[in-house]
Amino acid sequence: MRVAVVSDTHMAHKAVAIPEADVLVHAGDFCGRGTLAEVEAFAAYFRAQPHPYKILIAGNHDWPLERDAAEAEALLEGCGYLRDSSVLIEGVLFYGSPWQPRFLDWAFNLDRGELLAAKWRAIPDETDVLITHGPPRGIGDLCFSGDHAGCDDLLARVREVKPRYHL
């Protein structure tokens, strides 16, 4: 199975060259300003991609999926939207979650601690491919400030689950 992964396109997704693959994954931040119109435009683009399977999660700029979840999710019908949920594709279990430790007060932020840890405990033990918008602590999480924005609890859960891939 070939998987193509993109993230943080911020409404510039039409400019991204996406290779052929069996599964297309967008790992969040497809919105620019965070409007329902952007969700609708992205959904039409995403559905039109030639990949047999398409999966996406929300990112910290995808406000409509947090603030107006029911309306925004309805716009994503047929796009394979995962929010703390999974999908089995050809025997491979994909699980996606948009949450991250509070960072600049964006969408899908939770304070570090029990609420965020509970989100990570929900990741099924049998997950093959984990998709999160925020990284585990110490892995690709170094900010310009020198701080690490990643999550310790996510790192602990990834070490328990041992997915084949973490996107």
Over the stretch 55-83, which tens digit does the pLDDT of each residue have? 999 999 999 999 999 999 999 999 999 99
pLDDT at 140 over 80: no
Does this model's pTM top 0.75? My answer is: yes
Collapsed DSSP state (helix, strand, coil) of residue 42: helix
CA pair distance 139, 32, nearest whole angstrom: 25
pLDDT tier at 125 (50, 70, 90 boundaries)? Answer: very high
Per-residue pLDDT reduced to its tens digit, 42-51: 999 999 999 9
pLDDT at 113 over 70: yes
Q: What are phi and psi of 28, to 5 degrees?
A: 100, 160
pLDDT of residue 138: 62
CA pair distance 115, 64, nearest whole angstrom: 21
Closest CA to 27 of 131, 139, 104: 131
